[in-house]
């Protein structure tokens, strides 16, 4: 019998020791996707975004790469600002309180 059947997926990831890594990767993917969508809506090229951010096109490529976990919050926030947005990160309790 599988001990994980019926358990929370976050519990499974925590048991594997990868919850924080998976959560950070998912957050980066969402922000990269949102930046890409904002660029499409505003018809902003990667070159134009790089100019707005005062950085290189290579850094923009990395910021938009969903698989690149190495981007700093500051870089992502700078990219968001360049498309008229902001990044919001909050701390949340691990689990909902039991009532």
The ranges assigned to domains in the chain are 10-82
Q: Are 43 and 58 in contact (CB under 8 A)?
A: no
75-92 residue pLDDT tens: 989 999 999 999 988 887
- CA angle, residues 11, 12, 15, in degrees to nearest 5: 85
The domain 10-82 is placed in CATH, from the list 3.10.620, 1.25.40, 1.10.260, 1.10.238, at 1.10.260
What tokens were used for 30? 């969402």
pTM: 0.75
Higher pLDDT, 96 or 21: 21
Q: 62 burial class (0-12, 13-18, 19+ CB within 10 angstroms)?
A: middle
Cα dihedral 35, 79, 32, 62 sign: positive
């Amino acid at each position: 019998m599988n001990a994980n059947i019926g358990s929370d997926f976050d519990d499974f990831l925590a048991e594997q020791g990868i919850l924080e890594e998976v959560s950070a990767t998912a957050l980066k993917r969402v922000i990269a996707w949102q930046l890409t969508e904002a660029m499409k809506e505003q018809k902003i090229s990667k070159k134009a975004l790089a100019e707005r951010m005062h950085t290189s096109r290579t850094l923009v490529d990395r910021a938009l790469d969903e698989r690149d976990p190495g981007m700093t919050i500051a870089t992502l926030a700078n990219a968001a600002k360049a498309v008229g947005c902001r990044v919001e990160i909050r701390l949340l309790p691990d689990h909902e309180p039991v009532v």
